[in-house]
A and B are shown apart, each in its own frame.
Chain A
Amino acid sequence: MRTRIHVRHLLFVLLAALIAAATPVLAAETGFAVNLDTSQAQPRHVEETTMTSVQRDYGHAWQTMAAAMEENNTGLLGSDFVGLAKEQLLQVISEQGKSGLKRRYIDHGHQVRVVFYSPDGSAMELHDTVRLEIQLLDGNKIVYSDQGTFHFLALMTPAENSWKVRLLESVSGF
């Protein structure tokens, strides 16, 4: 009887430890965590509600882009991208699909700085330093893999109730 209780306790402790250990890992692996720094934004100060929206919408845009690129499904892009950024993604996803290629982003978090917020509040430029693993696949075969720190420049503009990515460009540095 005592042994059975001990086993049950042991199982419970093990399960709790597993959950505790898995939680941060899951959070890190699902990625798209955006740490937004607005201290250098100019010429306009970024209001707190704007900061929250940008942080949420930029992270979500990356999430949808990663899913769309891996599945070669433009429908997954949703409405997070507009203008040139959307056109480019639609084109590349369509070409990937035709060639049987895929792109996989394993995202380990973004350190984003707002470097410009227009005087009228209609545009924002972000400098994103992201820890990323990029896999390029032909069918299911990985033909190229790279892991490290990458730099992205993004232009975002506000819409009715969210911020949209208008331009997203990988750059060599800031």
Chain B
Amino acid sequence: MRRFFLLLALACATSQWLAGASLRVPDHVPAGQELSIPTGGSGEATLYLFGPSHVAKRRVKLGSPVVLAGDELVNAGRYVVVLNGESSTFFVTAGPVSTLAFIARPSRVPAATRDVVSGTVFLFDRNQNLVLSPQPVSFSLSVTGAPDVQRTETSKGGIAWTRLDSSRRAGAAQFIASAGAASVRRVVQEVASEPCNIRMHAERAKGGAIELQTDPIRDCAGNPVPDGTIVTFTSVDQSGRSTVDARIKRGIAQAELPESRQATISVAAGVVIGNEIRWGGGQ
């Protein structure tokens, strides 16, 4: 019986040897960390190392540990080490978060709008390996004079993303993403949304023409609509329709329409229509 077990053990050992025994290495090694692999026997053998961005082939002494230097193991991924007919595989994993790649979109958004700003962060360690372990990433969007919009997300597969509302106040918003010791800032220009309402008044000019001027034009959050926004004044009278496009300048829009005895004048910007004036009809 004892002989049977001895033979069985011997057979097991032989089959393991024939299948190619394994070198003793850990399953996972942090990027950039030196790795020492114990070896048995005596004499010399060829060591092979195959990694994602590095390969090595060198003669090593058996019987003493083989050292893989930290700079041979900087890139994350699967490594194969082969020595004297034995082989093993291990994975190099990313270290702590060191840098962030931050994509903020779009660069210009209307104020006081829901889920309009998106931020995507890719987390890298100091060797540019994607940090795959979940990490808390905080996002904040702030404009002077308005409360910060903040959110924390947990990264998945090296990526964290969020969608945020724009602030009620227009201005250059600081969009910051932070993870660990790394932080990246982007600027998102928050501009006034569509005008909330447009109010104009009319006066007779010296030559008889109709001089039109709006009150300061603001969005519903009270932000002045940016200069350059087109405002359209339309006059309809017996001779037909005349239209003038004017740009907002210093918050207001002005235009001059041809002389008319009786006309209906309206004002609009984008999809927003303002008040209507009946010229010559008692208005």
Contact = CB atoms under 8 A, between A and B. Distances in A.
A118 B82 contact: no
A55 interface: no
Interface residues of A, number: 35
Interface stretch (B50-58, B166-174, B205-213, B260-268): B50-58
B78 A170 contact: yes
B161 interface: yes
A115 B76 CA distance: 20
A76 interface: no
Provide the main secondary structure of the chain B interface: strand
Interface stretch (A11-19, A30-38, A56-64, A89-97): A89-97
A100 B91 CA distance: 24
B60 to A, nearest CB: 14
Contacts of B120: 118-120, 122-123
Interface in B97-121: 103, 105-106, 118, 120
A88 interface: yes
A95 B55 contact: yes
A102 B204 CA distance: 88
A43 interface: yes
A120 B118 contact: yes
Given A99-B56, A99-B57, A115 B78 contact: no
A119 B57 contact: no
Interface stretch (A1-9, A21-29, A45-53, A136-144): A136-144
A10 interface: no
Interface string B69-90: 0000001111010100001010
Given A101-B57, A119-B118, A143-B48, A136 B80 contact: yes
Nearest to A167: B130
A18 to B, nearest CB: 36
Interface in A116-132: 116, 118-120, 122-123, 125, 127
Given A146-B89, A172-B91, 13 more contacts: A92-B54, A118-B118, A119-B161, A120-B120, A123-B103, A125-B157, A136-B80, A136-B82, A146-B80, A150-B78, A155-B122, A169-B52, A171-B78
